[in-house]
Amino acid sequence: MDRKPDALRAIDRSLFFLACLCGLAILVLQLAEITARLFGGSVVFSSEVTGFLMAIMVFLALPEVTRLNEHITADFVVLMMGPKMRRFIEHFIAPLFSAIYAAILIYLLYTLTRDSYVDGVRSEGVTRTPVFIPQAILVFGTAMMLLRLVLQLVSPQPPRPHSDEAKEHIQ
C-alpha cells in the first residue's frame, strides 16, 4: 500500500496548523501592542514580527489550500462554458499555469533567499532578524504547493461543484 499521499497530506495539514499558530501569534502580538499603548508603552518588535508572521502564515497554508482546491477563483468565465471545457480548464489548464507560476516564483524566491543569506541581510527593525529565514519558509511553502499542483496534474480528480451547482443541490 502506497503511504506517500497520506504522508504528504499529513505534512500539508501540519503546515496549515503552523499557519494557524502564526495567525494566533499575530493576534496575541496585536493585543499586546494595543494593551501596551493603553498604558503609554509599546511592544517595539510587534510590527516587524507581525509582518514576518503574516507572510509565513500565507505561504505555509498554500499546500493545504491547494490540496483541498479551495483557492479563491474568478470562475465567472469558466461557468459560462460547457461541462467538458470547464473540466479541462479546471483539471489541466489552471493547475498547469499555476504550476508554471509557482515554479517561477520558487526560482525568484530562492534567488532572493540565497542572496540575502550570502550578503547577510538583516531586517531593519529592532529584532535584526536575518531575512533569509522567513524567505526560506516562503520558498518551502511554495515548493509544497508546486508538489500538490503536479499531483493534481498527474492524478484524476472528481469534479468539484461550483456555487451555482451547489445551490441547485441544496434546493
Question: What pLDDT sits at residue 158?
Answer: 60
Question: What pLDDT sits at residue 2?
Answer: 42
Place of cell 468539484: 160
pTM of the model: 0.81
Place of cell 507581525: 50
132, 113 contact by CB (below 8 A): yes
Where is pLDDT greater, at 37 or 156? 37
Write the CB contacts of 99 (distance below 8 Å, at least 6 apart in sequence). Answer: 146, 149, 150, 153
pLDDT band at 130 (very low <50, low <70, confident <90, very high): very high
Region of poorest pLDDT, from 68-72, 111-115, 125-129: 68-72
Write the CB contacts of 113 (distance below 8 Å, at least 6 apart in sequence). Answer: 132, 135, 136, 138, 139
pLDDT band at 75 (very low <50, low <70, confident <90, very high): confident
